[in-house]
Amino acid sequence: MSDSSQLIAFLQVHLKPFDDGLRVISECAYSEFYLLFCAILFWCGCTALAARLSCLTLFSTAIFTGLKQFILSSRPYMDYPELFNGWRENQWGMPSGHSQNAMVFWGSAAVSISSRLFRFVAILLIFTIGLSRLYLGVHYLSQVLVGFLLGMVIIVFSYRFEARFCRWITRLSSPRQLALLFALVHLPCLLTFLAHGILTIQPGESPSYQHLAFFSGLLFGIAISLLPMLSNKLSHHHGTIKKRLATKVFPGVISLYVIWQSKNYLSPFIQDLPHSFLQYLLFWLLGFFISLWACWIWPKIHQRLFK
């Protein structure tokens, strides 16, 4: 066994008492849980923070999903069956998407929130999520570290260019804004498809492309829904935080859960369609609708009901 696999075996023995906690942490570090948290922040009135975290997390998800199609790196339990710890994934292992998104989400939140306690908790969560992926035997140490590194690159890039980009895009006309956002959002997806066609690299499994289409639709829907925020045209949040939690957040979370479960129910039917392009289009539309519901449709319904 390699040094990295020996480390995983060591962790699986010595972290066994924390098995349930590490599994819960890993389960809650999938992209959909981050997006649900962003929706709650948005409905509570933390619009700018929710916009930043959701866009960065989705863009990060598109990047690592595309990279997994090029870096066909196996997972520890694939190479060493004895490291299987009851957890399987349906994509390749490099980079670790959990580690990358943990760094992007919690790292960006730590940069945005000036609280020493929160930053300590954020760092602890990032480390624990990476550790949980090692313990479960689904990533080598190198895959986790590369995920952390890519996440840091995304944070630095965002911190340096976000304000400049927002000022620039507000000066464009609406059609140009939409065209630019569409191109940027779908860049990882487009590069993945083109590179496979040009370089003839093994395309991998179809679910990875379906994920790319779905998360690209999500990101585009969020991006265009939040465009008015750049011009301070978003409606103000009314009522106390308790009232927003009772009338907006809790019903919104339930509605998102129902919609997401509907997506899971529809997925097998979409995957059975004969044409791949139609599959990708429908997954894109599902993502687009979910983001519009969270950012625009449900807030409008709430505004009508609770004027």
1-10, 17-26, 72-81, 266-275: the lowest-pLDDT one:
266-275
In this predicted model, which residue has the larger pLDDT, 96 or 197?
A: 96
Q: Are 181 and 224 in contact (CB under 8 A)?
A: yes
pLDDT at 53: 93
For the beta carbon of residue 211, count every other beta carbon within 10 angstroms: 23
Residue 307 has a pLDDT of: 65
List, for residues 101-121, the tens digit of each pLDDT value. Answer: 999 999 999 999 988 999 999
Q: Residue 156: its pLDDT value, please?
A: 94
* Predicted pLDDT at 18: 94
CA dist., res. 55 & res. 38, Å (int): 10
Q: In angstroms, rounded to a whole number, what is the distance separating the alpha carbons of residues 212 and 192?
A: 9
Residue 63's closest CA among 101, 93, 21? 101
Residue 235, pLDDT > 90, answer no
pLDDT at residue 207, as a whole number? 59
- Closest among 7, 244, 291 to 143, alpha carbons compared: 7
pLDDT of 195-210, one tens digit each? 665 655 555 455 567 7
Q: What is the pLDDT, as a whole number, of residue 232? A: 58
Given a contact cutoff of 8 angstroms between Cβ atoms, the answer to whether 228 and 295 are in contact is no
Average pLDDT over residues 76-103: 90
Burial group, residue 84, by CB count within 10 angstroms (0-12, 13-18, 19+): middle
DSSP symbols for 42-55: HHHT-HHHHHHHHH
Of 221 and 267, more confident: 221
Residue 197: per-residue pLDDT: 59
C-beta contacts of 113-121 below 8 A and 24+ residues apart: 113/49
Question: What's the Cα-to-Cα distance from 277 to each of 206, 210, 283, rounded to whole Å?
Answer: 11, 10, 10
Q: Residue 21 pLDDT more than 80?
A: yes
Q: Which of 17, 1, 26 is nearest to 136 (CA)?
A: 26
Longest CA pairwise span in the chain (Å): 64
How far is residue 307's CA from residue 80's CA, in Å, rounded to a whole number?
Answer: 59
Task: Please state the separation of Cα 223 from the chain's center in Å.
Answer: 14
Point out the least confidently predicted range of 65-69, 126-130, 295-299. Answer: 65-69
Q: Highest mean pLDDT: which of 111-115, 120-124, 172-176, 217-221?
A: 120-124
Whole-number Å distance between alpha carbons of 265 and 75: 28
Tell me which of 115-124, 133-142, 204-213, 250-259 is least confident: 204-213
Give residue-wise pLDDT tens across range 33-48.
999 999 999 888 888 8
For the whole model, what pTM was predicted?
0.87
